[in-house]
Amino acid sequence: MPETTLTPGPETQRAFRDALGCFATGVTVITTQTDNGPLAFTANSFSSVSMDPPLLMWCPARASLRHDAFVSAERYSIHVMGEDQLELAIHFARSGDDFDAVSWQPGAGDIPHLEGVLARFDCKAHATHPAGDHTIILGEVQRFATRPGKGLIFKQGMYGGFLKQP
């Protein structure tokens, strides 16, 4: 099939989004503590930035009602979801302040630590940078925890996992 070349713009926004969806990403849930209680955000825009110092980044949409709380958060935890945690990821994508039916424990600074995740990175705010309709949030990792397992994947608007290779 021949390649189609387009220029990003309002008329090609859907095609651009579909092209970005060709790249599979992991799924994370970021948590913080606010004056109104715990808050969470499901994101697939997560990446390692630096080993020294240990920096991670993620990018919430500026249109999100939770954007400002996370941009101003001094501390937060990034949780990497296991392939068995789809419901948890979807739950926090829909409702960031509903922790009633979720298994979690307060960590340092009362930051919610979700139970059963593949990895957790406890971060302090390092920097934020405006980036179009998103904000790049850089966090310096203070502590991290891991468990064995396979990660939850997001690609082309769908969630999934890894297949066992022959």
CA distances from 77 to 28, 54, 155 (A): 10, 14, 23
Domains of the chain: 25-150 (2.30.110.10)
> Rounded to an integer, what is the distance from CA 70 to the centroid of its chain?
12
The 10s digit of each residue's pLDDT in 126-156 is: 999 999 999 999 999 999 999 999 999 998 8
Is the CB of residue 131 less than 8 Å from the CB of residue 59? Answer: yes
At 51, is the pLDDT very low, low, confident or very high (cuts 50, 70, 90)? very high
Average pLDDT of every residue of the chain: 92
Average pLDDT over residues 119-123: 97
**Cα 42 to Cα 29: distance, rounded to the nearest angstrom:** 4
